[in-house]
């Protein structure tokens, strides 16, 4: 490493996620207590980097934040400095203002930047690494769809929230002879739906990786009905798609790095199943409940491990990398390898096959 590291910055970007504060806490404590570094936080993700909105982070700043949800640095998922929106003559134009953020880092005397985020946030991190910034990434998403790492922090908490919701819906479904459809997040990956569905005893799990035939889902529920089980539990990933390949889009947000907002597929499925099965059906969209609140014990530990390892990578000069979990060991992979390599559920994987063996239908 050519340059001695004295001051580092930490930034959180993208959607909020249980465990963000635990990563910040671990990174700050490691940087100060082990390496004697100065630490600053970048507020509101890349927006703060553009504005030069930095705040000092010390042991007092991060005291007590381990169990807190959200992020004390705040976040933004709409500010790509390589394609930053400006309104000119009544029209929105996109400009590359990444050099503004680069200069702000230099002017603040920051030697390395730890970026905690998902694919979109880390894509800009990779682009800054290409511009010579000393970047280390930490994988954050409840969707668990980032490549190169076995598990992202926030995923375990999201699954726990969804599982509790299924437990509660189960009693209502049984009491009223209803089919209850729970829609969970995950974007184009079915990890939350799969894990929560197995943990919550779902009768059907619909995920993006396995296009479903609604008639086959109905057949499975009719079989239950014939066997005296006049209710059903269906978990639907927000990105689930039928055999036609179409996903349900809630809205399109213009000038957003990710303009497609999925949502509403559980309503479609519930309406179809009510007609096909003959049981009253209801849809519950869990939404942002999965993102908020206190992280699970697993996520607190994983976040702490990620935060410590991120600072170690900085001090080892291993820039342009993202911290990863492989098996039970902390490792790392290049951002170049991570970006754009979405990790999806394997339809032939062990957990899918386990679910099928205990009678769960995926509509295939």
Q: In this model, does residue 350 exceed pLDDT 60?
A: yes
With contact defined as beta carbons under 8 Å apart, do 311 and 28 qualify?
no
Mean pLDDT of 111-130: 95
Nearest to 61 by CA among 28, 22, 36: 28
Q: What is the 3-state secondary structure (H, E, C) of 216-249?
A: HHHHHHHHHHHCCCCCEEEEEECCCCECCCCCCE
DSSP state of 260: E
Decide if 220 is inside a domain: yes
Mean pLDDT of 303-331: 97
pLDDT at 341: 86
**List of long-range contacts for 326-331, beta carbons under 8 Å, 24+ apart:** 326/149, 326/150, 327/150, 330/305, 330/306
Nearest to 224 by CA among 198, 243, 200, 202: 202
Decide if 119 is inside a domain: yes
Beta-carbon-side half-sphere exposure of residue 18 (alpha carbons within 13 Å): 27
Do 49 and 23 have their domain in common?
A: yes
Within a 10 A sphere around the Cβ of 293, how many other Cβ atoms? 16
Q: In this model, does residue 77 exceed pLDDT 90?
A: no
Do 206 and 113 have their domain in common?
A: no
Do 94 and 108 have their domain in common?
A: yes
Each residue's pLDDT tens digit, 270-300: 999 999 999 999 999 998 899 999 999 999 9
The confidence band for 317, taking pLDDT boundaries of 50, 70 and 90, is very high
pLDDT at 2: 57
pLDDT at 47: 95
What residues does 116 pair with on adjacent strands? 12, 138
CATH (domain of 38):
3.40.50.450
Do 351 and 208 have their domain in common?
A: yes
Decide if 334 is inside a domain: no
Each residue's pLDDT tens digit, 181-195: 999 998 899 999 999
Do 56 and 132 have their domain in common?
A: yes
What residues does 39 pair with on adjacent strands? 8, 57
Q: In this model, does residue 61 exceed pLDDT 70?
A: yes
Each residue's pLDDT tens digit, 44-53: 999 999 999 9
pLDDT at 357: 97
Residue 323 domain boundaries: 7-153+295-327
Q: In this model, does residue 133 exceed pLDDT 70?
A: yes
Do 114 and 197 have their domain in common?
A: no
Do 249 and 210 have their domain in common?
A: yes
Decide if 338 is inside a domain: no
Do 92 and 116 have their domain in common?
A: yes
Do 248 and 141 have their domain in common?
A: no
Decide if 363 is inside a domain: no
- Dist. CA 190–CA 210, nearest whole Å: 9
- Which residue's structure tokens are 């089980």? 229
Decide if 191 is inside a domain: yes
Do 221 and 98 have their domain in common?
A: no
Decide if 57 is inside a domain: yes
The set of residues, in sequence order, having a beta carbon less than 8 Å from that of 171 and lying 6+ positions away, is none
Do 245 and 351 have their domain in common?
A: yes
Do 245 and 321 have their domain in common?
A: no
Name the domain count of the chain. 2
Q: In this model, does residue 259 exceed pLDDT 80?
A: no
Residues known to be catalytic:
143
pLDDT at 356: 97
Decide if 126 is inside a domain: yes
**List of long-range contacts for 246-249, beta carbons under 8 Å, 24+ apart:** 247/208
pLDDT at 264: 86
CATH (domain of 198):
3.40.50.460
The set of residues, in sequence order, having a beta carbon less than 8 Å from that of 232 and lying 6+ positions away, is 173, 179, 180, 203, 204, 221, 224, 273, 277, 279
What mean pLDDT value characterizes the chain? Answer: 93
The confidence band for 255, taking pLDDT boundaries of 50, 70 and 90, is low
């Amino acid at each position: 490493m050519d340059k001695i590291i004295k001051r580092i910055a930490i930034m959180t970007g993208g959607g909020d996620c249980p465990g963000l504060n635990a990563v910040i806490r671990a990174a700050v404590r490691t940087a100060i207590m082990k390496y004697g570094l100065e630490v600053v936080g970048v507020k509101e993700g890349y927006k703060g980097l553009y504005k030069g909105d930095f705040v000092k982070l010390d042991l007092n700043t991060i005291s007590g934040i381990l169990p807190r949800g959200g992020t004390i640095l705040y976040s933004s998922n709409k500010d790509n400095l390589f394609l930053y929106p400006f309104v000119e003559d009544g029209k929105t134009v996109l400009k590359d203002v990444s050099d503004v953020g680069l200069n702000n880092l230099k002017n603040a005397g920051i030697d390395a930047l730890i970026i905690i985020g998902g694919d979109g946030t880390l894509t800009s991190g990779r682009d800054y690494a290409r511009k010579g910034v000393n970047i280390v990434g930490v994988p954050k998403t409840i969707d668990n769809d980032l490549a190169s790492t076995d598990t992202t922090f926030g995923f375990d908490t999201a699954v726990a929230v969804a599982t509790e919701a299924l437990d509660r819906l189960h009693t209502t479904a049984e009491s009223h002879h209803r089919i209850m459809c729970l829609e969970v997040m995950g974007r184009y990956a079915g990890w939350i739906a799969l894990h929560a569905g197995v943990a919550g005893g779902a009768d059907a799990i619909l995920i993006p990786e396995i296009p479903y035939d609604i008639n086959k889902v109905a057949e499975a529920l009719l079989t239950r009905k014939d066997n005296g089980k006049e209710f059903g539990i269906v978990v639907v990933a927000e990105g689930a798609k039928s055999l036609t390949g179409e996903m349900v889009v809630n809205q399109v947000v213009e000038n957003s790095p990710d303009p497609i907002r999925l949502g509403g597929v559980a309503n479609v499925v519930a309406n179809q199943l009510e007609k096909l099965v003959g049981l009253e059906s209801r849809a519950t969209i869990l939404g942002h409940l999965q993102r908020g609140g206190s992280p699970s014990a697993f996520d607190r530990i994983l976040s702490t491990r990620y935060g410590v390892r991120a600072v170690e990578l900085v001090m080892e000069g291993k820039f342009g990398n993202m911290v990863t979990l492989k098996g039970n060991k902390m490792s790392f992979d290049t951002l170049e390898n991570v970006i754009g390599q979405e990790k999806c559920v394997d339809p032939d994987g062990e957990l899918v096959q386990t679910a099928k063996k205990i009678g769960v239908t995926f509509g295939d």
